[in-house]
Amino acid sequence: MLENLPVLLSEDEIQKRIAEVAAEIDKDFEGEDVVVISVLKGAVFFTVDLVKKMKTPIELEVMQVSSYVGTESTGNLLVKKDLDRDIEGRNVLVVEDIIDTGTTLSYLKEYLLSKNPKCLKIAVLANKVERRKVDVALDYVAFDIPDKFVVGYGFDVDEKGRNIPYIGYIEE
Q: Residue 52 and residue 64: Cα distance in Å, rounded?
A: 22
Kindly tell me the burial class for residue 145, based on how many C-beta atoms sit within 10 Å of its own C-beta (0-12, 13-18, 19 or more): buried
pLDDT digits (tens, 9 = 90+) for 99-139: 988 888 998 999 999 999 999 999 999 999 888 888 999 99
The answer to whether position 164 is within a domain reads: no
By annotation, the residues acting in catalysis are 100
CB 58 within 8 A of CB 114: no
The answer to whether position 17 is within a domain reads: yes
The answer to whether position 42 is within a domain reads: yes
Q: What is the pTM of this model?
A: 0.92
Confidence of residue 69 (pLDDT cuts 50, 70, 90): low
Q: Which residues face 66 on adjacent strands?
A: 78
Identify the domain containing residue 108 by its residue range: 12-149
The answer to whether position 79 is within a domain reads: yes
The answer to whether position 1 is within a domain reads: no
Please state the rounded mean pLDDT for residues 130-153: 93
CB 154 within 8 A of CB 18: no
Q: Which residue has the higher pLDDT, 159 or 92?
A: 92
Q: Residue 14 and residue 62: Cα distance in Å, rounded?
A: 22
pLDDT of 4: 82
- What is the percentage of the chain residues whose pLDDT exceeds 70? 94
CB 96 within 8 A of CB 43: yes
Q: Which residues face 58 on adjacent strands?
A: 34
The answer to whether position 127 is within a domain reads: yes
The answer to whether position 65 is within a domain reads: yes
The answer to whether position 59 is within a domain reads: yes
CB 25 within 8 A of CB 51: no
- Residue 130: give its domain's CATH number: 3.40.50.2020
Rounded to the nearest integer, the mean pLDDT of the chain is 91
Number of domains in the chain: 1
